[in-house]
Amino acid sequence: MALMRHIPGIFVTGTDTGVGKTVVACALARALKARDIDVGVMKPVETGCGEKLFPADAMALKEAAGVVDDISEICPFRYKAPLAPSSCADIEGRPVDVERIMATYRTLAGRHQFMIVEGAGGILAPITPQQAIADLVKKMNLPLLIVARTSLGTINHTLLTVSCAKQAGIEMMGIVMNPVDHSGWTQTEEWGLREIESRAGVPVLGVFPRLSSVKDERSSRFDWDKIIAMMCKI
């Protein structure tokens, strides 16, 4: 496959926390790697790392991409509690330094053909007293891939996320629906998907398979070729 030179990467956000951003980002990293694309990964801020500050999401991304980049570059800010980054920073006395994140991002982007950056929580999750994840997306100038759950309530969450991104002037590549709540597919989810497709003004790229872990090979059957082709056109 030809090298991807149209955009330097993509920013993966969610409509909420726990919607499967890391699983989708890891699967995308593996798909790019399988197509001989040198992909770098970054999780600028990770919370809920526990007393040992182990960044499970960032480590999963590192393994999926098969990179040798140091975890301190992939995830420069780690916090113990499962709270918003700005709250964790206040509690632990270690503020998020956006300029340091940007410098690290530029280093990684200069090292790889393509970057996958995963946010923390949703697009309005606060990272400093003045800035949210949306501000980080704008600084990186990356198109947004939105991961949304399929269950009841997702129409509101997804359309709010899309509306916020539009107001911020953030380019969106599309939406991936992820059935994180259960393994079935119901009429409720089907109607939710149709409503999002008709109202968002952003393409729904597909419904991700339910996985038992981030390494589940069923993700390889997702239509990554379609998504990667779209990324090349942005």
Residue 97: pLDDT above 90? yes
Active site annotation includes 43: yes
Q: Residues 184-206: what's their mean pLDDT?
A: 85
Where is average pLDDT lowest: 18-22, 167-171, 187-191?
187-191
Instruction: Give the whole-angstrom CA distance, residue 42 versus residue 11.
Output: 9
State the average pLDDT for the chain: 90
- Confidence at 5, pLDDT banded by 50, 70, 90: very low
Determine the Cα–Cα distance for residues 124 and 145; give it in Å rounded to an integer.
15
| Global confidence as pTM | 0.92
Q: Does the pLDDT at position 69 exceed 50?
A: yes
Look at residue 2 and tell me whether its pLDDT is greater than 90: no
Which neighbouring-strand residues pair with 178?
A: 149
Q: Cβ(123)–Cβ(161) under 8 Å? A: yes
Residue among 208, 173, 212 at smallest CA distance from 193? 208
Domains along the sequence of the chain with CATH: 9-229 (3.40.50.300)
Band of residue 222 on the pLDDT scale cut at 50, 70, 90: confident
Phi, psi of 7 (to 5 degrees): -135, 150
Angstrom distance (rounded) from CA 153 to CA 16 = 11
Catalytic residue among 21, 33, 43, 80: 43
In the three-class reduction of DSSP (H, G, I as helix; E, B as strand; rest coil), residue 74 is classed as: helix
| 208, pLDDT greater than 80 | yes
pLDDT of 136: 97
Please, which pLDDT band fits residue 215 given cuts at 50, 70 and 90? confident
The tokens describing 69, both together, are 């980049």
Report yes or no: 165 and 136 within 8 Å, Cβ to Cβ: no
